[in-house]
Chains A and B, each alone.
Chain A
Amino acid sequence: MATRIDIATAAPAALSNEEVLRYSRHLIMPEVGMDGQLKLKRAKVLCIGTGGLGAPLGLYLAAAGVGRIGLVDFDKVDLTNLQRQILFSTTDVGRPKIEAAAARLRGLNPDIQIEPHETRLTSENALDLFRDYDIIVDGTDNFPTRYLVNDACILLGKPNVYGSIFRFEGQVSIFGYSGGPCYRCLYPEPPPPGLVPSCAEGGVLGVLPGIVGALQAAEAIKLILGKGESLVGRLLLFDALAMRFRELKLRKNPECPVCGNHPTVTKLIDYAEFCGIRGEETPAPQTSVPEITPRELKDRLDRGDDLFILDVREPHEYQICNLGGHLIPLGDLPKRVSELDSSREIIAHCRSGKRSAEATQFLQKAGFRKVLNLKGGILAWSDDVDPAVPKY
């Protein structure tokens, strides 16, 4: 495990006159100064993900003059990213994120090296990718990659500057540094896929990753400078709604399978399997529910068939778009089932068809004979029947 970062021992570098001017607000403060700025210039930081967290991270690290910034991403910019991913502009939609991010950061600071790695981080490539960097910053969006980043950092002895967000709440810490705990000390196992909050509770306040990513950038810069008190051994919790920071103590778990006294994980494993996920798209286990396609539904409505449309989404989703159905959120269905007439044919729908499949299954068990799930949900309705219905 790393106990300090060897930036000071790397080959010395000097600042050009233009760099002196660019970094003057750093140079005149004693906590950075010329020594600190040269450390920043020699530092190599790898950012995993160029999305919500990666954006402020990349921007502030580049602005601060971190000499080599690696970026790992494989995604393309889409319109829904722009609500929070401030590295990208509207004209970047459709462009590989890594390309747009590298161009933006090079534009911000041409004196540093940006190293784009357009790839999905895997157990096969993680160690090779990480080896060349001093600090790894985790800005990913899923459990398998978080455990992969953690384990690779521990195996290589690299500090992992961790940040994670959900809706309006964030977590920040530093793992695997200076004898401190790792992510697995905090959470030995990920949640099973079925228990993570679904789309109904999803979403994120756009400014939240900006705050959490900037906190990660501050921690990375402090590690490089060797100044201040780092978040090693502390978990910082941020609630943007309450506008409150809280701090919890993190302890190293002597039984930790990766960084404990008798590690059992000594190489990278299959993290999809570890997290109970096989493949990208987990097939819905209940594909056996009776379905109707959007086209068939449209034809039947046009014929004047007596159909009862049941919308099992949340009220705020109904406001975005709806098919005029009767709204009972999935979670309320058991206690509001009496609102439904089992003699009528019921078409259940949600956004993509997953929650309504659960609703269909529930209603079948409750004795409803004539229930169909709208295949692909309101998204498919927008694609196949009525493009005027917005997708979200």
Chain B
Amino acid sequence: MSVKVIIPTPLRGYAGKQESVDVQASTVGEALNSLTTRYQDLKKHLYADDGRLRSFVNVYVNDEDIRYLQKDQTQLKEGDTVSIVPSIAGGAAASNQE
């Protein structure tokens, strides 16, 4: 199944600066696995050392949070959109601290 994974701004630098990446997958886990195999730097930003999705990164299939579906076992249909949505904190100042 061909699905589109939308890469959020803060993580685009680790995914070839692309807005979205098309992958072949039948579950969310497969889609993310395919993505992080292609872009290995992305892996540590999505997964903790124990292999679980980080708690400040949410994944959606279309507009539903996979935590309330079947998590990484969530089935995908042709043309589904998988969104990675990390928390961002900016507002008052530029996030310009080194």
Contact = CB atoms under 8 A, between A and B. Distances in A.
A219 interface: no
A203 B94 contact: yes
B54 interface: yes
A187 B92 contact: no
B8 interface: yes
B91 A143 contact: no
B93 A166 contact: no
Residue in B68, B92, B96 whose Cβ sees the most chain A Cβ within 10 Å? B92
Interface in B10-63: 10, 13, 19, 41, 44-45, 54-56, 58, 60, 63
Contact of B8 (A53, A54, A169, A249): A169
A331 B13 contact: yes
Contact of A50 (B9, B92, B95): B92
B39 to A, nearest CB: 12
Contact of B91 (A80, A140, A191): A140
Interface string A14-36: 00000000000000000000000
Interface string A40-56: 00000000011111100
Task: Please name the 9 residue pairs, one residue from A and one from B, whose CB atoms are nearest each other, closest first.
Answer: A51-B92, A49-B92, A141-B92, A166-B88, A354-B98, A189-B55, A352-B98, A169-B9, A187-B87
18 contacts: A51-B91, A51-B92, A52-B90, A138-B91, A140-B89, A140-B91, A164-B87, A164-B90, A167-B9, A187-B56, A188-B55, A189-B56, A199-B96, A201-B13, A202-B96, A248-B83, A249-B63, A249-B65
Interface of A: 49-54, 73, 75, 80-81, 138-143, 146, 163-169, 171, 186-191, 195-204, 209, 235, 237, 239, 242, 246-251, 253, 331, 350-355, 377
